Amino acid sequence: MRASWIAAGLLPLMLPTTSSFAQQGPIKIGLILPLSGTFAPNGEDTLTGTRIYFDSIGNQVGGRKIELIVEDEQGRPDVGLTKARKLVENDKVQILAGFVSTAVALAVNDYAREKKIPMVLSGDAGANELTMPGPLYNPFIVRTSQNGRTPAAAAAAFAYKNGWRKVATMTSDYAGGFDTIGGFAQAFCKLGGTIVQEQYPPINTNDYGPYVTNIQSGVDGVVTFLPGSAGLKFVKQFDELGMKAKYPLMDIFGQIVYEPFLPQLGDAALGIYSTLHYAPTIQTPENQAFVAEYMKRAKRIPSDNGADGWAGAHAIADAAKAVDGKVEDTEKFLAAFRPDKFASPKGNISFDKYGQLIQSMYVRKVEKTKEGYANVVVESFDNVDQFWPMTEAELESYKYRYSELKGSMTNCAKVLEKK
């Protein structure tokens, strides 16, 4: 008696549960992105890219409307998981997408696997293991951005080809940093190059003076992975302390030469090389249309996050179309991602059997163009899969995980030790 009275009192507070006619309802996609805090711009860019694609198909696919529900994970994994629970259990979304922070993706990973909800990583979350066989692998994951190691492998290939043999590295001290710089060390050692010095400034380092001053003299180049404001602060000091005049710089993932930074950096950015799976300067009709639309909406040049969000939306729509809108049939829906192929702003893309995108890697160089400073593509590697330039078996044969190599990347014998 009392219980039902309480129930009657509480129910109006709760949001209505969805009807049993879910099949006829919209396809609901829950986007989990950082919209406040340090990574807000990455979240915003992913969101804009996602919206651009869905708007271009009238927010409709397979006879069903597409409904986006956006939640801010605040850069905190436990908040991300709470939001995932809300989206799945309360809003009844059929798909989770977005994910900029790897930690948030990992926090949601087990939950999504258990609830059998497809997770489309269309944000930056780049942990290698999420799309490789192993304990973290989740068959419900599809990734339309990149993993940590491929842009690093492209950086190694380009650097070696251009005569760099001894390099110093500078990597932000966090998990994503090792996924990246470890991939570089492995690829570079394999080619025959050597890392002669590794430095790891903590994230949130304000003063890069000590690290820049400390760079070993006589190297052929400096290789960095410094996300967020780290790259910006680093390169200013690198320039002022006279190092830029001495050593060429390879910026894995284009974190230093991130487009919004270029006007701020001015000449300090000129000549910096970077590797990434995207460049706003790519001369294809898909990209030019994308950039124009993006500039119209966001009043800024799109980053890779924007292009990744677009690709994620495209892949979701393709897969939904392939199953006639029946995204509730998770198995069929996920299988429909695998054969998908399309031309994107990033170039031609397809998927491997683990759900990771196969795409191009671009080497860019900052040049002064008519429109101002820009990352101009100087070389591209096409159809790069997540194991490139190795095979899956070869990559698996190495003994050490990248995070275990911190501090011993100067020793190629250890880097290349096999199981």
Exposure class string for 7-39: b at 16+ Cβ within 10 A, else e: eeeeeeeeeeeeeeeeeeebbbbbbbbbbeeeb
Minimal distance in Å, beta carbon 123 to other proteins?
14
Helix 102-115 × helix 77-85 angle, to 10°: 30
User: Residue 216 or 397: which CB sits closer to other proteins?
Assistant: 216
Residue 38 contacts residue 72 (beta carbons within 8 Å): no
Minimal distance in Å, beta carbon 69 to other proteins?
8
Minimal distance in Å, beta carbon 219 to other proteins?
16
Q: How far is CA 237 from CA 161, 352, 367, in A?
A: 28, 41, 20
Minimal distance in Å, beta carbon 332 to other proteins?
26
User: Residue 157 or 265: which CB sits closer to other proteins?
Assistant: 265
User: Residue 6 or 335: which CB sits closer to other proteins?
Assistant: 6
Alpha-carbon torsion 413, 403, 401, 34, what sign? negative
Q: Largest alpha-carbon pair distance within the chain?
A: 83
Residue 129 contacts residue 136 (beta carbons within 8 Å): yes
Rounded CA separation 254/45 (Å): 16
Minimal distance in Å, beta carbon 262 to other proteins?
11
User: Residue 69 or 378: which CB sits closer to other proteins?
Assistant: 69
Minimal distance in Å, beta carbon 203 to other proteins?
8
User: Residue 111 or 392: which CB sits closer to other proteins?
Assistant: 111
User: Residue 81 or 168: which CB sits closer to other proteins?
Assistant: 81
